[in-house]
Amino acid sequence: MTDILNKEILDSLLTYLFEDKIRYGVNCDGGYVIANLKDVTYDCYISAGVSCEESFSRDFIKTYNMNKDNSFAFDGTIRDYPYNYTKDITFVKKNINSINDNYNTNLSYLINNYKNIF
């Protein structure tokens, strides 16, 4: 049963080829390469699982002219956000989950209020 389920999940994933790519963040864990979509605008940015390296968030937020009103970092396992990377983000000390309580969020309040979330 597990093999069938995994094949179904894998078959349902779509892949895309992008010739134009850009790297945000450092050249190791914490930095990532994404498609460079020149005509796309985002109205919300979500960082899920912060730890101590947020150079991707810093670069992404700066590139897309975002701020604390539409940029959010979630991590219930750290004391505070590493603000040395950017102050243009709202830190929420919660883990992402299927429920909403004092320690978890399902992000529904963001999903319901924004249209183009990265």
Indicate the domain borders of the chain: 2-111
Residue 56 CA to residue 10 CA, distance in Å, equals: 27
Distances from the Cα of 24 to the Cαs of 35, 55, 57, 95, in angstroms? 11, 7, 8, 24
pLDDT in the model for residue 45: 98
Residue 90 CA to residue 73 CA, distance in Å, equals: 6
pLDDT in the model for residue 10: 74
Which residues on neighbouring strands pair with residue 90, listed in sequence order? 72
Q: How far apart are the two ends of the chain, measured CA to CA in Å?
A: 34
Can you give the pLDDT of all 118 residues of the chain as single tens digits? 455 567 777 777 778 888 999 999 999 888 999 999 888 999 999 999 898 899 999 999 999 999 999 999 999 999 999 999 999 999 999 999 999 999 999 999 999 999 999 9
Residue 50 CA to residue 89 CA, distance in Å, equals: 12
pLDDT in the model for residue 5: 60
pLDDT in the model for residue 62: 96
Tokens of 108: 């529904």
pLDDT in the model for residue 12: 76
Q: What ranges in the chain are assigned the alpha helix state H? A: 2-12, 55-63, 108-111
